[in-house]
């Protein structure tokens, strides 16, 4: 099975929205889900691969934010 076939059969990636919808002026990210306005607006039309990329980016953002808090 090809990688594309595997991705199309993978479970859908659900929105990371936590219903805490407030944009941070400092970061330009939603304080609830850590996405940009562009990512939020495009989510419904994103492919599985695009959603997975956003989720990886969110993980990196959370790690960076956590690191900043410990400094």
Task: Evaluate whether residue 11 is within a structural domain.
Answer: no
Question: Could you give the CA distance from residue 50 to residue 71 in angstroms, rounded to a whole number?
Answer: 32
Alpha carbons 61 and 32: distance in angstroms, whole number:
12
- 29 found inside a domain: yes
Strand-pair partners of 30? 23
Within a domain: 62:
yes
pLDDT tens profile 10-64: 799 999 999 999 999 999 999 999 999 999 999 999 999 999 999 999 999 999 9
Is residue 60 one of the residues assigned to a domain? yes
Q: How many domains does the chain have?
A: 1
What's the pLDDT band for 1 if we cut at 50, 70, 90? low
């Amino acid at each position: 099975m090809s990688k594309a076939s595997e991705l199309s059969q993978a479970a859908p990636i659900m929105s990371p929205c936590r219903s805490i919808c407030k944009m941070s002026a400092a970061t330009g990210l939603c304080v609830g889900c850590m996405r940009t306005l562009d990512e939020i607006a495009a989510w419904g039309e994103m492919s599985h691969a695009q959603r997975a990329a956003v989720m990886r980016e969110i993980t990196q953002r959370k790690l960076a934010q956590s690191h900043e808090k410990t400094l």
